[in-house]
Amino acid sequence: MYASTRATWRNLLLVATLAHAAPGIAADPPVTAERLQAGNLAGDGNWLTYGGSYANWRYTPLAQINRDNVKRLQPAWMLQMGVQGQVAGSPIIADRTLYYTAAHNNLYAMDAVTGELKWHYEHQMPSDLRLCCGPANRGVAIAGDRVYMATLDAHLVALDRATGKVAWNIEMADHALGFSATSAPLVVGSRIIVGNGGGEYATRGFVAAYDLATGKELWRRYTVPAKGEPNVESWAGDSWQGGGAPAWMTGAYDAPSKTLYWSTGNPAPLFNGDARKGDNLYSDSILALDVETGAIRWHFQATPHDVWDYDATNGIVLIDAEVDGRKTRAVAQANRNGYVYLLDAATGKFLRGTQYIEKLNWSKGLTAEGRPMVDPAYIPTPEGLSKWVCPGPIGGNNGSTTYTYHPGRKMLFVPVIESCMSLAKEGSEMVPGNPSFGGSLGDSDATAKTAYGHLTAIDPVTGKIHWRYRDNFPMVGGALSTAGDLVFTGNQQGWALALDADTGKVLWKFQTGSGVRSQPVSYEIDGRQYVAIGSGTGGLAMQVVGQPEIVTYGSALIVFALPKD
């Protein structure tokens, strides 16, 4: 919790900004279901969903900023948030307003052209939060005249877009049992869908849909089956009660089939699978859900019986692919376990699997069904540390680090972590609300000496790697591709980067003052294109592969544009 003097200062700021916002603010037009369906591919300059569109491409058709002029890119405005904690969010831009979240559930509404603050909301939280991985928030959803945020104490809050006034506030789950929420919700029609965090605390994961107008729960799909439900036999005995499989990242949506695609995290306990023998469905999986009922249409599990913390919560991208001469609607995912997967979106059938990281040893490859062929030498044991496992538990791409799909080039641009680590298995008592790691990590200093990163351009259909941009540190900032032949990202030394989409050559960089962990976006207003990149505390890289050269101070959103002259 904040010190009392800081809390007083922040409350005064909140009152002041709300008072400033309330009178005389012209209302932006409602964000309709049709606008959300069109997404940023409509070309109107907005960025209305977490991934830019329901397909989650994180791509913009804007091309004013391009490979020829990007070297002239300069700051247009900056928000200094002054909030300690990871800056991991992805902005939402609707008409002339930009909405951005900072750590500890702070939400800012700003003029997207000038950066002038319209209002600020800080969700007041209890003192007994149970968080494994920091107080980050990854963004909001928008619909109608409201903006929606999930919170660290597992609430879902609806606020008025113009004033920040709370319309409703509902509890999704009990934070005292270890539940939390950090992801950006997804609005589909009259529903708002969000998943939980807290898989490290013996909580049972879920994805749930709520009514936009009232917050009433419409359905809840648990990601660990209970007694009597299909696939509960994939958990030995009653071990399903230990939970896991949190759904802590934002999914994708296919409107024609009314299908949600959502990914899930680790089983519990993380590193000790003795008591939970079996595949442990639906942990480390992609789920296809009926948007109206939450029913599971199909599932694909990337890492059965996970004992390495290989969450499958990485982004889900929907693409039209040609596979074996047949046009196929497909799901693509660069999984934390080191493989890029391509699945049939209608059935979940495994189509392709390709290693995208340079160092991978826990698996000897994939079967024809996409199941990993585990090398038993890299399974944690109680006798001591395992062999050097690659990738380590933060994965080849961490679930909160977004990648981008360029539809013209038909390529994924994936920020990659090359980090290996040894693991040890330990006992773990499964008590909701208590940590359930079931093991420990090896020497992080030794890991830091060998860890590095790269941004990799890969064809998800063929597996061909077109280029790699290598960085001295793990790449844990998200990526954005553009019609201007660019890929934007950032690194842990604080550099915002623009690379040539064809070659991976760095064409522009800007020192933001802190490690980049956020998800860049682009928008256009009055004929001028902007790129927004958040900067603040290296976060994950510091926790697991912390090098002293990583810049960790600061907390800001920086918006760039070309000079007006």
Out of 160, 309, 311, 485, the active site residue is: 309
Q: Cα separation of 354 and 459, whole Å?
A: 10
Whether residue 330 contacts residue 344, with contact meaning beta carbons closer than 8 Å, is answered with: yes
Whether residue 479 contacts residue 455, with contact meaning beta carbons closer than 8 Å, is answered with: yes
* 3-class SS letters over 132-167: CCCCCCCCCEEEECEEEEECCCCEEEEEECCCCCEE
Containing 171, the helix (H) or strand (E) segment is strand 166-171
Distances (CA, A) of 448 to 171, 453, 455, 473: 39, 12, 19, 9
Q: Cα separation of 71 and 505, whole Å?
A: 12
Residue 60 is given by DSSP the state: E
Q: Cα separation of 486 and 484, whole Å?
A: 6
Which residue, among 374, 335, 373, has the nearest Cα to 355 in the 3D structure?
335
Whether residue 97 contacts residue 112, with contact meaning beta carbons closer than 8 Å, is answered with: yes
Could you give the strand order of the β-sheet that contains 326-334, starting from the edge strand earlier in sequence?
317-323, 326-334, 339-344, 350-355
Q: Which two three-digit tokens encode residue 237? A: 């005995």
Q: Cα separation of 503 and 509, whole Å?
A: 16
Does 309 participate in catalysis according to the annotation?
Answer: yes
Q: Buried b vs exposed e over 227-241: b needs ≥16 C-beta within 10 Å?
A: eeeebbebbeeebbb
- Write down the number of H helices and E strands in the chain: 4, 37
List the catalytic residues: 309
